Amino acid sequence: MTGPERRTAIINQIKTSSAPVPGKALAAQYEVSRQVIVQDIALIRAAGHDIISTNRGYILHESHLVERIFKVKHTDDQVEDELYTIVDLGGRVRNVMVNHRVYGHMEAPLNINSRRNAVEFIDDIRSGKSTPLKNITSDYHYHVVEADSENTLDMIQEALEEKGFLLEQEEWEKELFAK
């Protein structure tokens, strides 16, 4: 078994276990040293999995975030207002997506969860290096927004609607994102 295969198996084992999984047991199961397991766990964490070490073994910290896809439209000058609206209400803009008639579905990660992240993104755009992805679809675009509760997402939705940024998704769009 290769290292990446072992790490995938370890993730799956920790995810599906109802009890903490001891490192010693993982080492015995995969016939490697305990130190190799510690290194595997570090690599798994670096890949974005929230593994917690307890005195009884490893557990996966389950995120209690909820998410919603918002279809929005605004000008380049309103990007800052849109992002601030979302993060100020406790949201995280995970990505931006467009559906282009020729190029199809395109998506880029943003991971903006603070005004500071928003300013960095906006500064990059304003520096002239590139333009927002929304510009290739006449300003129509989508964001997956994460938050701690449906209530927070409802507040974000209401605020985007009040600002005139929010658009209703058509049936084909709902089906596209349900996949």
Annotated binding site for Ni(2+): 74, 82, 141, 143
Which position has the token pair 């047991």? 25
Q: What are phi and psi of 122, to 5 degrees?
A: -65, -40
Both tokens of 81, joined, read 């207002």
Instruction: Starting at the earlier edge strand, list the strands of the sheet with 92-100.
Output: 104-112, 92-100, 140-147, 66-73, 166-167
Residue type at position 138 = S
**Binding site listing:** 74, 82, 141, 143
- List all residues 6 or more positions away from 98 whose beta carbon is below 8 Å from its beta carbon: 105, 106, 107, 133, 134, 136, 137, 140, 141, 142
DSSP 28: H
Nearest to 72 by CA among 166, 177, 143, 135: 166
Residue type at position 172 = W
Both tokens of 93, joined, read 């803009």
